[in-house]
Structure 1
Amino acid sequence: MNDDSTGRIVAALRAWIATAPAGAQLPSSRALTAEHGASPLTVQRAVRVLAAEGLVESRPGVGTFVRARRAARAADLDWQTGALRARTGRLRGLSATQRTVSPDAVALHSGYPADDLLPERLVRAALLRASRTASATTRAPAAGLPELRQWFAGELARVAPGDVTPPTARDVVVLPGSQSGLSAIFRAAVGPGRPLVVESPTYWGAILAAAQAGVTLVPVPSGPSGPDPDDVARAFDETGARAFYAQPTYANPTGAQWSAELRARVLDVVRRHGAFLVEDDWAHDLAIDTDPRPLAAQDHDGHVIYLRSLTKSVSPALRVAALVARGPVRDRILADRAAESMYVSGLLQAAALDVVTQPAWQTHLRAVRPALRARRTALLDGLSAHAPTLKVEHVPAGGLSVWARLPDGADPVDVMLACEARGVIVAPGDEWFPAEPTGPYLRLSFCGPDVDRFDAAARVLGEVLGAGAGLPAAARP
């Protein structure tokens, strides 16, 4: 007899046990053999499975009986309240962008590109080649593989103007993703209890990293064109801050790209105040209509701490990023990183370096532009046709999402729940504000799979808004 027979007997006896009183005796082995047309060995195997599950107990020389089922004792977790004390800062559960959803849902919430936007074949081949090298078994240097550090430095050097001394590999620290880099920068370059100027809205992960580092956020308003340099200067003057976290290129969530004039003015403000500009260039490889222009390429006095990740453009499985910083601040951040994680996997670094140095990498980047443009167009056309009350104030020239304003008075979380009930997953915008939201927003990603379903998803969103979801009862149609 095979395992199918054992499983059949186990299922039948489970059903019988579910209605039998505790202490009831199971039919004899002979009776079960005859009833199920199985061998005595198969019956014994089935009884052992039930005994292992705690459903029956055997009494030698007597028989097998249904075990008394004890009521499960509820776990007493009250002690943790005393151990943890009050919640600190803005720390909370997972972001709405990190929710795991049904495969049948249309995912407009995540910031990770669909597989067909990634260089899958390059990544697989690179991992295979890296596994055959010493990087598979040796410890990587704390600052990262020298060749990878040189590549990151070279990326800035090739766009630096002639009067700026370009960074070198010595200025680069490789990171296990940009999120850990933000935490290290905020701890090492700002410090607990000290002010950090940030755009508002801004990346929710930066807000979380600041909370974990105990940093005090100082928001300045930022829109489709970026922040007003006068507001940035005023924030520095009023708070004594020595750092400004910003996303000058395809900001998450607004999609803003700073003009050349704005970049120069903000960098001048930072220099005058003897401060750092933490430049998060997360979408460097996700351009659509324009080219990225890092501020770090214009900086030769060490005011810019530059952060660039390959996670979204190469693969989420290769969490490799780097920061470029000059002077003592680089050494302080490296010490922080080494204390937390020692070093980044050399295998992942070698694979990432392999991908970005292949000729096919540039071919892939050229192909990503029209693919992202088509997805962006599909989403915007759908919203325009089916959800006209949802206002997209700025069409991003790069990145992975659009920032859309809901009708005044709408609750983004209620809209999210109403959409989710109909198989469309969106991200409420409140998470991107370091203080109170200035309006009701959704961040809608166009980088996910099922681009052919974007129109249907927009129709659902329009119907949800048309029904007054998220609005007070008095304001619903």
Structure 2
Amino acid sequence: MDDDSSHRQVAEQVRGEILALAPGSRIASHRELVRRFHVSASTVADALSLLAQQGLIESRPGAGSFRTENRPTPRPGDTSWQETALELSPQDDSAPGIRRVFDAPGLLTTLTPSAADVIDLNGGYLHPDLQPLSMLTASLSRAARRAGAWDRPPPGGLPELRDWFAAELGGGLGRQDILICGAGQSALSTSLRALCQPGDPVLLESPCYPGATAAARAAGLRPIAIPLDISGIRPDRLDEALSHTNARAIVVQPLFQNPTGASLTPQRRDELREIARRHGAFLIEDDFARYMAHDDGKPLVPPLISDDPDGTVVHIRSMTKVTSPNLRVGAIAARGPVMARLRAASVIDTMLVPAPLQYTTLEVVTSPSWRRGLATLGKTLKHRRATARDAIAAAFPTELTHYPRGGYHLWVSLPPQSDSRQFAAEALTRGVAITPGDNYFTSGGGSPHIRISYVAAPSPADISEGIRRLEPLVSKYICEGAG
């Protein structure tokens, strides 16, 4: 047998023998299995480890491996009481209408893995073939060898990593203006809870990243939708909403917005900062897609916080999208007294970000492969975007209203009167996972759209095939609308 692929074969053959034994019986020794299957000791060790993970055997030091004992059947319970306990309990001193809502269907839809026979045009993370796994593995190995890898890090994060983020953001930011956090979603939740009180309004783009809506509702805030166009959130509507609501926080994605792909123009960036400053509101800049600019999407405008001496902007930057969903490290940047509030909220939420993850991130961003990898990814995403665009043009009757040169998705119009959730459900029966546009509206409405991601599928050919499978469904919806 080939050692590199045989441990599963060994485990499968031994599995049958184990099931024939009485619970508590000793199985063949490690040495005997090596001799019987003509494989290496490490292959047998891997096979036994797999069987232990499956709950079939347990190891007893000095005695060998044994079939696990039968575990007692758990007594049936009745958890129906929780339905009443989880209902909102009114408090005499609580403001009417304030409640924290822990419901995130939009996030869960995107995070749920697709079945093996489904083409994933839904996911928001790079397919493993696109992830810089060699660099991540090498960085993790170097990080683990650092002298302080398992020491408790400072509450604000490793000084060296904070210095890197400060230099990356520019605008004269220093270490004191940076807080290391657990990636973008965690940073968004921390920022909203630090800046707002339960019951406060928070202004969100419409359509909007579902994680922002979920974080706002979990903090007991009232999301208020502000429309956007291809240049980003509309300043006139933002100014009007701030005047009427006295909101103290606005959340924007300035580059390649999720889901529309819109990017703020230089003029609009200045307008947003001025409007927020005039109303005394914080502008939370969720810069999630900066490292996902395509080969033809550069140079990029600097982040809003780089020209914000008055501390209007609270900036969020994450490393997760361009590395791995498991490298959950990011940063919050802010000037002024607000940083003390953000640090306190972060400590309450997560205590600290594990030092091994921080050191791994530091190794990644200081590696010579970091910038080269971003350049390669930019070329790859440009090609995948073009593949998706061509397939959409063949399958859908309307042209794309926006063709962003960054990010990982396209915002596609459906025939009028379509139900995007029903469309997504029917697409799944055809072996394609897509994201319904309704997930991106705080009220669940909006014109019918779907979001098509082109980074989660294994290859450009899969992207084309997945969109091709939608063509009969699009035709069906057109006919139903005409009827």
Query: 2:154 pairs with 120, 123, 141, which one?
Result: 141
Corresponding residue of 1:27? none
Answer yes or no: is the 8 Å Cα contact 2:130–2:377 preserved in 1: yes
Measure, in 2, the Cα distance between the counterparts of 1:4 and 1:456.
39
Asked if 1 retains the 8 angstrom alpha-carbon contact of 2:104 and 2:210, the reply is no
From 237, 247, 256, the equivalent of 2:243 is 237
Q: How far apart are the structure 2 equivalents of 1:291 and 1:379?
A: 23
Identify the residue that residue 268 of structure 2 maps to in structure 1: 262
RMSD (CA atoms): 2.4
State the AA in 1 paired with 2:359.
A
Name the residue aligned to 1:220: 226
Q: CA deviation at 1:292?
A: 3.1
Post-superposition offset of 1:50? 11
Determine the C-alpha separation between the residues in 2 that align with 1:343 and 1:428: 35
- Are 1:79 and 2:81 counterparts? yes
Q: Which residue of 1 aligns with 2:190?
A: 184
1:117, distance to aligned residue in structure 2 (A): 2.7
Q: What does the per-residue CA deviation read over 1:52-71, in whole Å, with 9 as the maximum and x for residues that have no partner?
A: 378xxxxxxxxxxxxxxx9x
Q: CA deviation at 1:205?
A: 0.5
2:450 is equivalent to residue 437 of structure 1: no
Shift of 1:245: 0.7
Distance in 2 (alpha carbons) for counterparts of 1:409 and 1:198: 25
Distance (Å, rounded) in 1 between the aligned partners of 2:397 and 2:423: 13
Query: Hey, what does 1:91 align to over in structure 2?
Result: 103
> Are the counterparts in 2 of residues 106 and 450 from structure 1 also a CA contact under 8 Å?
no
Give the TM-score normalised by the residue count of structure 2: 0.81
Q: Provide the residue aligned with 1:310 in structure 2.
A: 319
Question: Residue by residue, what CA displacement relative to the aligned partner does 1:103-151 show, whole Å, maximum 9, x if unpaired?
Answer: 2211000110122332221111010011111343210111000000000
Matches within 5 A, 1:144-159: 144-157=157-170
1:359-418 Cα offsets, whole Å, 9 max, x none, are 221111111111000000111101111x22355211012101011111111111111111
Q: After the TM superposition, which of the residue ranges 286-295 and 264-273 deviates more from structure 2? A: 286-295
Structure 1 residues 432, 52: CA separation in 2 closer, same or farther (over 3 Å shift)?
same
Look up the match of 1:58: none
Among 419, 428, 431, the alignment partner of 2:436 is 428
> Residue 383 of structure 1 contacts residue 390 of structure 1 at CA under 8 Å; is this kept in 2?
no
3-state SS of paired residue (2:204): strand
1:245-289 CA-partner distances (Å, limit 9, x unpaired): 101111111111111111011111111112211000001100012
**How many equivalent residue pairs?**
413
Say if 2:149 and 2:359, in contact at 8 Å, map to a contact too: no
Alignment-mate amino acid for residue 82 of structure 1: T
Matched residues in 1 for 2:381 and 2:122: separation? 16
Do structure 1's residue 249 and structure 2's residue 251 form an aligned pair?
no
Question: Partner letter of residue 97 of structure 1?
Answer: T
User: Partner of 1:285: helix, strand, or coil?
Assistant: helix
Change (3 A) 1:476 1:413: farther
CA–CA distance in structure 1, aligned partners of residues 444 and 71 of structure 2: 52
| TM-fit CA distance, 1:428 | 0.6
8 Å CA contact 2:206, 2:225 repeated in 1: yes
Is the Cα–Cα contact under 8 Å of residues 207 and 441 in structure 2 kept in the other structure? yes
Give the whole-Å Cα distance in 2 for the aligned partners of 1:372 and 1:50.
Answer: 49
Contact conserved, 1:320 with 1:349, CA < 8 A, in 2?
Answer: yes
Alignment partners' CA distance in 2, 1:303 and 1:317: 31
Structure 2: unaligned runs, 5 residues or longer: 1-12, 23-65, 89-98
Deviations along 1:456-475, whole A, 9 cap, x unmatched? 1111111112123xx8x964
Aligned-partner SS, 2:180? strand
- Distance in 2 (alpha carbons) for counterparts of 1:267 and 1:52: 65
The 1:78–1:301 alpha-carbon spacing in structure 2 relative to 1, beyond 3 Å, is: same
Report the 3-state secondary structure (helix = DSSP H, G, I; strand = E; otherwise coil) of the residue aligned with 1:181. Answer: helix
**2:122 touches 2:453 (CA, 8 Å); kept in 1?**
yes
Once the two structures are TM-superposed, the CA of residue 49 in structure 1 deviates from its matched residue by 7.5
Percent identity among equivalent residues? 36
Distance 1:4 1:249, change over 3 A: closer
Q: Is the 8 A contact 1:135 1:350 kept in 2?
A: no
Structure 1 residues 474 and 113, CA, compared in 2 at 3 Å: closer, same or farther? closer
Query: Using the alignment, how far apart are the partners of 2:339 and 2:19 within structure 1?
Result: 64
Contact preservation (8 Å) 1:172, 1:322: yes
Alpha-carbon distance in 2 for matches of 1:274, 1:359: 42
Q: Quick one: which of 39, 45, 52 aligns to 2:70?
A: 52
Change (3 A) 1:352 1:8: closer
1:455–1:6 CA distance, 2 compared to 1 (3 A): closer
Deviation per CA, 1:35-54, whole angstroms, max 9, x where unpaired? xxxxxxxxxxxxx9799378
SS at match of 2:292: coil
Q: What runs of 5+ residues in structure 1 fail to find an aligned partner?
A: 12-47, 55-69, 161-165
Tell me if structure 2 keeps the 8 A contact 1:144–1:343. yes
Q: Distance in 1 between matches of 2:220 and 2:86?
A: 16
Residue 169 (structure 1) shift: 0.8
Deviation at 1:76, TM superposition (A): 2.2
Correspondence for 1:465: 474
Spell out, residue by residue over 1:328-355, the C-alpha distance to the aligned partner (whole angstroms, 9 max, x if none). Answer: 1111010011112211011111111111
Secondary structure of 1:134's match?
Answer: coil
TM-score by length of 1: 0.82
Contact 2:202 2:222 in 1 (8 A): yes
Stretch of structure 1 that moved more, 249-258 or 435-444: 435-444
Q: Residue 124 of structure 1: which of 137, 146, 155 is its match?
A: 137
AA partner of residue 450 (structure 2)? L
Q: Which amino acid aligns with 1:247?
A: Q
Matched, 1:114 2:134: no
